[in-house]
Structure 1
């Protein structure tokens, strides 16, 4: 990884922090893109290597644009890691449902804005929760139907995989050497599983995590695999153990909905409309 620049969103905690530490330890230049500079700097202080901390709030498209505009140097690998999971109904600065807006739309905008600088790979962290997901094109931001946090989370994780597939298709169409891959951590005991005192689901998940979850470091292995292994575009990595909950990383399958090219294309068009950010077809380097 010497001489390579890796941008990791949400790198101040969980598997993002573990991935940042591992890559910096292999001589990569790691840019931690975080919402809180204070927390990012605290995390960076525990690592060795070439590490920078820059502010990025994926729940605010103006912050995404500012981050991308300030990043004029080449990026070898972008790791779309940051995410939120089963919060009460909340909205981003732009009015999107928080999980769809952060987990998918924020990363969608960031990736397309940075693509002219990206030289090797885009990795997006999804989840096996995508298997329960579907894209509600009539109301993706939960403006009319009763809110269900876990259903919204599953939609956002399905969107991550559909985004990866369509991004790979578009990159291939223009002859770009960049590839898009995805990964899921299995069951990792990250901040996403910590209880907040408001939802029984979080408490239950924390109890399960205490029994069976793997560490942040182990949970980061599929992300690292997707970032550096010799894998094809649109590949998906996850743990090799029982029910893909833990274990060494390997290529894994995805749901039929996550393989639907028509839905992936439609989601891309809707995402462009919602964010105002489009695929930079004429600004990319080609092989």
Structure 2
């Protein structure tokens, strides 16, 4: 496929899609497009009032459920209360460069929300997922490293962008290891990832603590280079419905993957490190208390 538009999304009747953080930005745009194609779309959002406001702008069957990814109790409550089959789970919600904060469970806010919250949610819902899991990463993953000695920024000086980059790298490592485990369990579910390029959304939090050069670059990029949230949602939609293999990574096909029609794109060497992906998975299980729920067939076990 050389181009992809919302018009190429197949009919989604009788399919259920859960999208985290779907009350704004690319999550809202993706939800709107999928609902218009007949999907039953569940907006999993921290603020149900904002979710209801977003739902009123969409056609089709759109439901709103509360989910706070920065609180594992909320993640468990959501998963326990959702017993219907899920055709597509889109792990879209995320924070970008806020001041240092902690989740309800004490994790650094970006790592805890962007990675650990989605890690727990996916594994808790996995027995009911029958299609694919799409996790939204970022080009920022290329600047990321996984610091296993200080995943939650409790020892070193906090750097918001580096914490963000770590969380986005974690998204890709999570996708890779999830797909490996799904394959080993002989599951038909696919794990894929996407990134929006440079999209003009309200994801950006606070840049006050970042270096002046980074703030200036961001301002110029958003004002002159960023694509709309509708275009930014296209890689997510492509990853959700296109005929692509498990482990794929979709992003804009234009200059520096910043904008343009979605296609399968590359990722950093760090994001392809299988040993790091497995180690991160085990660390995430330890931190969240949530484990991979599917049985492994004897013929595929290690």
Deviations 1:84-124, CA, capped at 9 Å, x for gaps: 00011000000000000000000000000000000010000
Aligned equivalents of 1:40, 1:11: Cα separation in 2? 7
Whether 1:30 and 2:26 are equivalent positions in the alignment is no
Do the aligned partners of residues 198 and 48 (structure 1) sit closer, same or farther apart at CA in structure 2, a change above 3 Å counting? farther
Structure-2 change in CA distance of 1:283 and 1:52 (3 Å): farther
Residues in 2 aligned to 1:141 and 1:34: alpha-carbon distance in whole angstroms: 24
Structure 2 match to 1:219:
232
Matched, 1:55 2:66: yes
- Shift in Å at residue 203 of structure 1? 6.6
Residue of structure 1 aligned with 2:82, choices 68, 71, 95: 71
Are the equivalent residues in 1 in contact too, given 2:44–2:64 (CA < 8 A)? Answer: yes
Report the Cα offset of residue 192 of structure 1.
1.5
Deviation at 1:194, TM superposition (A): 6.4
Q: Could you tell me how far 1:202 is from its partner in structure 2?
A: 5.4
Match of 1:140 among 143, 151, 156: 151
For residues 13-34 of structure 1, what are the alpha-carbon distances to aligned partners after superposition, in whole Å with 9 as ceiling and x for unaligned? 0000000000000000000000
DSSP 3-state at the match of 1:30: strand
1:102 matched to 2:93? The reply is no
Q: In the alignment, which residue of structure 2 is the partner of 1:258?
A: 271
Q: What is residue 262 of structure 2 aligned with on the other side?
A: 249
Is 1:173 equivalent to 2:179 in the alignment?
A: no
- Residue ranges of structure 1 left out of the alignment (5+ in a row): none
- Structure 2 unmatched ranges of 5 or more: 1-11, 298-302
Distance in 2 between the 1:84 and 1:210 partners? Answer: 20
The superposition leaves residues 205-227 of structure 1 with CA deviations (integer Å, 9 ceiling, x where unpaired) of 24420111000000000000000
Instruction: Quote the offset at 1:48 in angstroms.
Output: 0.7
Offset, 1:131: 0.6
Secondary structure of the corresponding residue to residue 271 of structure 2 = helix
* 1:193 and 1:202 in contact (8 A); partners too: no
Secondary structure (helix, strand or coil) at the match of 1:243 reads: helix
Count, aligned residues: 284
Measure the CA separation in 2 of the matches of 1:195 and 1:98.
13
Assess, with a 3 A threshold, how the Cα gap between structure 1 residues 255 and 104 changes in structure 2: closer, same or farther. Answer: same
Structure 1 residues 124, 86: CA separation in 2 closer, same or farther (over 3 Å shift)? same
Tell which deviates more after alignment, 190-199 or 229-238: 190-199
Distance 1:196 1:169 in 2: 36
Query: Does the alignment pair 1:86 with 2:100?
Result: no
How far is the alpha carbon of 1:126 from its aligned partner?
A: 0.2
CA RMSD across the alignment = 1.6
Q: Measured at CA, do residues 278 and 205 of structure 1 come closer, stay the same or move farther in structure 2, by a change above 3 Å?
A: same
Which deviates more, 192-201 or 138-147?
192-201
**8 A Cα contact 1:116 1:283, kept in partner:** no
Residue equivalent to 2:5: none
Identify which range, 275-284 or 232-241, moves more after superposition. 275-284
**TM-score for the superposition, normalised by structure 2:** 0.91
Distance 1:254 1:94 in 2: 30
TM-score (norm 1): 0.96
CA distance in 1, matches of 2:271, 2:185: 23
Match of 2:284 in 1: 271
Confirm or deny: 8 A CA contact 2:41 2:63 kept in the other structure. yes
